[in-house]
Structure 1
Amino acid sequence: MRGRIELVVWTVVSLIILYLSWRTVRPLVTPLFFGVLLAYIAYPLHMRLRRRFSAHESALILTAIMIGLGTILLVFFTLLSIKLVNRFYMNVKDVLAWLSSLQFSGTLQTFFGQVQSQIVPKLTDYVSSFTFSVPKYLLQLIVFLFAFYYALVYGEKLREFILSLVPENQAPFIVEILNRTDKTLDALVRAWLLLNVAKGFLMTIGYIIFGVGDVYTAIIAGFLTFLFSFVPLLEGWMLWVAGAIYLYMKGSLLGAIGIAVYGAVLVSPLPDYTVRPMLVAKDAELDETLVFIGMLGGTWAFGLKGLLLGPVILSIALVLLKEWKKRTSDRGAAG
């Protein structure tokens, strides 16, 4: 009786601690996830550096490189964002001024006047809210860098630690799950990077072919397509839509239709639902439908990180189903 009470007490205490631990970690799940993910991507380079440096020194070098690249991208996007926001504001202001100059009824004229008088305070409030969020973003950045660094340093020991937590007779099964996870994640990252590079290159070519700005503009569009393709919902379609609108406003209807068809078929969204699942399915030895459902459902359920988590989770579920079927068959044969 006393043993049962102790078991119940320890179970309740453990559940409470696990719940509080989850509440503590939950706000930082996203930077932790992407820190570990980028460490996974950089791990082959880390292993090469390990031939000349210690694990801590190699991880520190890669973290410094990550900080340098992040700083360059931050400055680039800050300057680009300021330019785009300023242009957007001027365009909105011009449109509202044009609407106010038209001869509408008194009610509509009053409505447009109110919108025009409120647009500046609304934009100011948005900028202020973003400014107050900067400390939060900095905290997430610090967590991301720590996760990246320590995932590189202790990556080898993590696998050993996981195996040490399971009974010895279950170790082969856990190893199979870890291998399947590694294989699926490797296929996802490889397909993600290769496809996004191809999409950026094709967008650059498309901007040049259809005359959307000069070569510099085309290169910037290709680079932004590569970056935006890592973010679900944004993807590369934003750039060909912007190009189509630009050509249409210049009076080139055929050019606008051309780049729209070109972008939809070769950049986004068609390749995201055809080429990407095919690449992942081939490398991970999975069914294309399973990969497609995992990507779509994972993104819906977990946001950006679900693009990778979804297929990995379904891949592990497949391993579990196979193991369950095997054990059920073994019990049937033994009986």
Structure 2
Amino acid sequence: MNGKTEMIIWSAVSLLVLYLSWRTVSPLLTSLFFGVLLAYIFYPVHDRLKRRLSPEASALLLTIVMIGIGAGFLAFLTLVSLNLIRSFYTSVQDVFSWLTSLPLSGTLQNFVEGLRSQIVPKLAGYVSSFTFSVPGYALQMTIFLFTFYYSLVYGEYTTEFVLSLVPPSQRALMTEIIERVDKTLNALVRAWLLLNVAKSVLMTVGYVIFGVGDFYTAVIAGLLTFIFSFVPLLEGWMLWVAGAIYLYQEGSILGAVGISIYGAALVSPLPDYTIRPMLVARDADLDETLVFIGMLGGTWAFGLKGLILGPVILSVALVLLKEWKEVHRGLN
């Protein structure tokens, strides 16, 4: 077997192994990603704890804390989601029962019955699929916790390990890329925390100004805004929408419109696409438009992960573009 044939065979085998590895890991990417991300966020706490404890004990303690937070949050979301789905299912059933009780013509009656026979089973299927997906959530949570733990334990060796995989001639470039990723992630996390605190305070103030419940209700709304703001699909808009519905049901249409404008402009979604990119751009030395495109395009391309991945990828792309310009200039 000559060298060329051997190279082709080994290249084919390597590509096959890489493809199979990707197929193995891809269903767990979300859990792996958020495990590493949360470990990155909590690493300063781990760095202080491991001075008093061992790295393993510190990581285990933080993992136990994460289990408690995750279990409580998951239980809360599950109860709320199930109640909403059941309430919506019951409401749809009531609407169809009311429609079928009306003196409709034969054609309309058949249309309503046909619509009911299609929609109601699908809603029931959604409820049952949500219930049966709990084991899948448990598996993803297990992967997340293991990733979180080992990322904390071996976090200090990550840069050294990555650099060991790179040829010596490219280590300076890889070091610059790692520093850029670290700076961008720091900016994203800092902006997220600062903005979420501000949004929770503004939501509490909004509930007080527009008279949505008492002061205790306003404080709870602010706390929930802070928590939900870490989940991009939920965000703080849920709280001002709930407040608007409450005020509308109480007969205060002006108040419902007022808190809707206040919430959309100061809580969510407007600050998420204006103030957040500005904060990230300032701390990461990036252009605001680039951060905005990264967040929007990243979410479109990668889902929830894209809010973080998008700006980081574009930031790394700038480093590579700069390096390409330097190389091109040197060749000329």
TM-score, length-normalised on structure 1? 0.91
Query: Which residue matches 1:315?
Result: 315
Query: Which residue matches 2:64?
Result: 64
> 1:320: Cα distance to partner?
0.4
The answer on whether the counterparts of 1:232 and 1:299 sit within 8 Å (CA) in structure 2 is: no
List per-residue Cα deviations over 1:170-197 (Å, max 9, x = no partner): 2111100000000001101111122122
List per-residue Cα deviations over 1:181-221 (Å, max 9, x = no partner): 00001101111122122222222221222122334443343
What's the C-alpha RMSD, in Å, of the aligned pairs?
2.2
Ranges in structure 1 where 5+ consecutive residues have no aligned partner:
none
The answer on whether the counterparts of 1:36 and 1:151 sit within 8 Å (CA) in structure 2 is: yes
**2:263 is the alignment partner of 1:259:** no
> 1:94: Cα distance to partner?
4.7
Query: Which residue matches 1:174?
Result: 174
Ranges in structure 2 where 5+ consecutive residues have no aligned partner:
none
AA paired with 1:326?
Answer: E
Q: How is 1:160-199 mapped onto 2 (pairs within 5 angstroms)?
A: 160-199=160-199
- Residue identity (%): 70
Query: Which residue matches 1:202?
Result: 202
The answer on whether the counterparts of 2:82 and 2:127 sit within 8 Å (CA) in structure 1 is: no
**2:262 is the alignment partner of 1:286:** no
Q: How is 1:231-310 mapped onto 2 (pairs within 5 angstroms)?
A: 231-310=231-310
Over 3 Å counting, the alpha-carbon distance change for 1:300 and 1:117 in structure 2 is closer
> 1:55: Cα distance to partner?
0.9
Query: Which residue matches 1:156?
Result: 156
TM-score, length-normalised on structure 2? 0.92
Over 3 Å counting, the alpha-carbon distance change for 1:120 and 1:4 in structure 2 is closer
Query: Which 10-residue stretch deviates more, 194-203 or 64-73?
Result: 194-203
2: distance between equivalents of 1:208 and 1:329? 61
For the residue of structure 2 that corresponds to 1:74, the secondary structure is helix
AA paired with 1:163?
Answer: L
Over 3 Å counting, the alpha-carbon distance change for 1:283 and 1:242 in structure 2 is same
Over 3 Å counting, the alpha-carbon distance change for 1:325 and 1:117 in structure 2 is closer
For the residue of structure 1 that corresponds to 2:221, the secondary structure is helix
For the residue of structure 2 that corresponds to 1:235, the secondary structure is coil
Query: Which 10-residue stretch deviates more, 75-84 or 191-200?
Result: 75-84
Query: Which 10-residue stretch deviates more, 21-30 or 109-118?
Result: 109-118
> 1:257: Cα distance to partner?
1.1
List per-residue Cα deviations over 1:272-315 (Å, max 9, x = no partner): 11100000000001000000000000000000000000000000
The answer on whether the counterparts of 1:204 and 1:221 sit within 8 Å (CA) in structure 2 is: yes
> 1:322: Cα distance to partner?
0.5
> 1:109: Cα distance to partner?
4.5
> 1:2: Cα distance to partner?
1.4
The answer on whether the counterparts of 2:202 and 2:267 sit within 8 Å (CA) in structure 1 is: yes
Query: Which residue matches 1:139?
Result: 139
> How many pairs are equivalent?
332
2: distance between equivalents of 1:83 and 1:120? 17
> 1:166: Cα distance to partner?
1.4
